[in-house]
A = this chain, B = another copy of it.
Amino acid sequence: MGTEKLNTEIRQDQIVQMALSLVASHGLKELSMARIARKVGLVPSAIYRHFKSKDEVLDAVLDYIQRRLLDNVAIVCNETSESIDRLRRLLTYHIKLIRENQGIFRVVFSDELYSGHPERKNKVYEIITKYLGKVSEIIGQGQREGKICIDTDPITISLMFLSIIQQAAILWHVSNEKFDITKHTERVWKIFNESLITK
């Protein structure tokens, strides 16, 4: 009825946001076009004015996630040029991203998203490797500067680095937010610091 008419770009943004928010609160399984529509304030069929299919919506959500992750890298690189500092800050931003937007990780690590969709599975792989690539650039920089020990390759270190946060995030999520992710991160950083950073 008296529903405001907004152009596709705005609606697409809203749809992605609402989709992500629904995933955060109820998981991917419960994500339906009808629910998204209701949350946006539209009727289900209206979504199809802005996306050809549910698959397209999911792809857009993935694009958004990728952007958020890579933005974090850009932000820390702007804030400081010191490699260890960059890593430390990235850790903080990553945790913050997880806490504020649980949906992101329910999506990225739910195989429901890409089972039966080779292209999408590939996209997820791409997101992870791109992010890892950026992190390992920072680590490589640190190694060249003599701040990080060079007997392990940057990719392995960056994967270790992210693994630990990621898994903590899963535990945090599964424990209904009881697991203290911040404290865990601090302890891990300490070990990380002592074992990889040249003194």
- Residues of chain A touching chain B, judged by Cβ–Cβ distance below 8 Å, are 26-30, 106, 109-112, 114-116, 121, 124-125, 128, 152-153, 156-157, 159-160, 162-164, 166-168, 170-171, 173-176, 184, 187-188, 190-191, 194-196
Asked if A191 and B195 sit within 8 Å, CB to CB, the answer is: yes
Contacts A156-B191, A159-B167, A163-B167 known; list 7 others, CB within 8 Å.
A27-B115, A29-B112, A121-B174, A128-B174, A153-B187, A160-B191, A191-B196
Give the distance in Å from the alpha carbon of A176 to the alpha carbon of B30 in the complex.
27
Complex-state Cα separation, A171 to B173, whole angstroms: 20
Q: A193 to B148, alpha carbons, bound, how many Å?
A: 17
CB-CB under 8 A from A27, the residues of chain B are 111-112, 114-116
